[in-house]
Amino acid sequence: MNAVKGTLNHVELIGRLGSDPEMRFLSSGVAMCRFNLATNRPAGQDAQGNRAYETDWTHVEAWERLAELCNTYLHKGRRVMVSGSLRNDSWVDKESGQTRYRTYVRAREVMFLDPRPEQADAPSEVSEEEDVPF
C-alpha cells in the first residue's frame, strides 16, 4: 500500500471488463494496457420492490509486464479484482483550450476471478513484481 506520512491511496475493485483491453507501447518501449471495469452498487429499489443497482465504470491502467499479462489473458466480460492507486490527470484540450480531467486506477495487482480459460498456463493472479511466464 502507498502509506506516506499518514496518507493512503489504495483502491480495490471487483468487476467485469466492459471491452477487450487496449495495449500500446510508448516510444521508450514500455508497455501500457488500458481497460474499463464495470462495478455495481445498490441504488434503492425498482417498481416491484427488488433491489436496484447502478453501474459505475472505472478506467484502469496497467504498465510493463502486468500490462502484457492483462492484454494476453483478459477479455470483455471477464471478472477481475484490481488493486492499485487512484490517479488524476489533467491537460489542456488543443481544440477547445479547456482543461480536461481524467481519474483512473493504476493497477498494481490483477486477480482473475473467473475459472481458468482453456489455456493451462494462464495465471490466476498477477502483479507488477511478478514475472509470470507465458
Instruction: Tell whether 131 is covered by a domain.
Output: no
State the pairing for strand pair 51-63/99-112: parallel
Note down the domain range covering 14. 8-43+51-116
Query: Looking at the whole model, is its pTM more than 0.85?
Result: no
Instruction: Tell whether 128 is covered by a domain.
Output: no
Instruction: Tell whether 130 is covered by a domain.
Output: no
d(CA 59, CA 68): 17
Instruction: Tell whether 25 is covered by a domain.
Output: yes
Instruction: Tell whether 57 is covered by a domain.
Output: yes
> pLDDT at position 1, please?
55
Instruction: Tell whether 121 is covered by a domain.
Output: no
Residue 71 region by backbone torsions, left for phi larger than 0, else alpha for psi between -120 and 50, else beta: alpha
The CATH number that applies at residue 21 is: 2.40.50.140
Instruction: Tell whether 13 is covered by a domain.
Output: yes
Domain count, the chain: 1
pLDDT, one tens digit for every residue, the chain (134 residues): 556 678 899 999 999 999 999 999 999 999 999 999 999 998 888 888 888 899 999 999 999 999 999 999 999 999 999 999 999 999 999 999 999 999 999 999 999 898 766 655 555 555 555 544 33
Instruction: Tell whether 129 is covered by a domain.
Output: no
d(CA 33, CA 116): 21
> pLDDT at position 127, please?
57
